[in-house]
Homo-oligomer: A and B are copies of this chain.
Amino acid sequence: MSSDSFSDGAERNDSEAVVSATDPIRTKIKQAVTDVHEQTPLAQSFTNFVTINLVANAQLAAGGTAAMSYLPDDVIATAEIAGSNYINVGTLLPFFKDALPEIAYKLHKNGKTWVLDPVAAGIGETRTAILESFRAYPPTIVRGNASEIIALDEIWGLADAAASSTPTTRPAGVETVDEVDTAVDAAKRVALHLAKRSPVGKGAVAVSGTVDLVTDGERTFRLPGGSAMMTKITGAGCSLGGVTATYLAVSEPLVAALSASLLYNRASEIAETKSDGPGSFQVALLDALWNVTADQVATSKIIETD
């Protein structure tokens, strides 16, 4: 498959290598996918109103179960019986400004893992204030597009003085403005910050794009493949964040982020071949999330990079 590495958008250079078939990370990925199907873990979501239904259905299709909550007392009570949690800051309501910092603090205090999707990071004062508050009680995994990861890195002030002297001023938002490559350094910095306060001692960041990037700050992987139709339905990224939480309920952050992104890439490729437009694509995506096997996910092409 090495001859494909240029044509699939993942350019290979000296600092990149395809992860071998016997790499232990593949065993862990296969185990995570298998465990979700056998244990049907509950992942709880505090997520936006646009794609809340797809998030829940994707978690179910991946083999998990779902519960959605907004009130702090609901979220904290449900976190006691959930394997992991997911917070998505897409469609903010006024009470979120107080509720989300409180929830992040209590999840941290109670040693609960959670995935953050920083949707539209950089837009709106309220969203910035909420994301800023997560710096002290951070998630275990962050999943977003390049613009959002870069914006979060800036909001948390993780870049060094040199880097911050050239601030990014383009609008970040719900649409991917930046390519994944531009977010590599930010993703690593964010991942290392997550690890510092993680209840499981580790963190991970997944950057979605034409070629996804997943890092725990030490090892970094590129995941080629997927389907361009993912940008023609709403909630592809949001539901990937939710499914990442499903995997986080049974595995370490890096493995959870890899497993979820790989599952989505394989499922979206299948869905593209079975659909005539975005309506049937979403239906076929849910079917494929349900039908893709642990072997299919674990034998995916994975490229390790610096």
Q: Which residues of A are at the interface with B, using a C-beta cutoff of 8 A?
A: 42, 48-54, 56-57, 60-61, 65-71, 73-74, 77-78, 80-81, 90-95, 120, 123-127, 171, 173-175, 231-235, 275-280, 282-291
Question: Which residues of B are found within 8 Å of A120, using beta-carbon distances?
Answer: 67, 74, 78
Q: How many copies of this chain? A: 3
Q: Pick from B49, B69, B93, B277: contact of A287, CB below 8 A.
A: B277
- Are B81 and A126 in contact (CB-based, < 8 A)? no
- Are B74 and A234 in contact (CB-based, < 8 A)? no
How many whole Å from A212's CB to the nearest CB in chain B? 20
Question: Which residues of B are found within 8 Å of A275, using beta-carbon distances?
Answer: 287
Closest 7 CB pairs of A and B: A279-B286, A277-B287, A56-B234, A277-B290, A74-B124, A279-B283, A279-B287
Bound Cα distance from A138 to B73, whole angstroms:
24
Bound Cα distance from A81 to B172, whole angstroms:
10
Question: Which residues of B are found within 8 Å of A66, using beta-carbon distances?
Answer: 50, 174, 234
- Are B50 and A50 in contact (CB-based, < 8 A)? no
Q: Pick from B42, B80, B125, B287: contact of A175, CB below 8 A.
A: B42
Bound Cα distance from A130 to B91, whole angstroms:
21
Given the known interface contacts A120-B67, A123-B78, the answer about A94 and B91 at a Cβ–Cβ threshold of 8 Å is: no
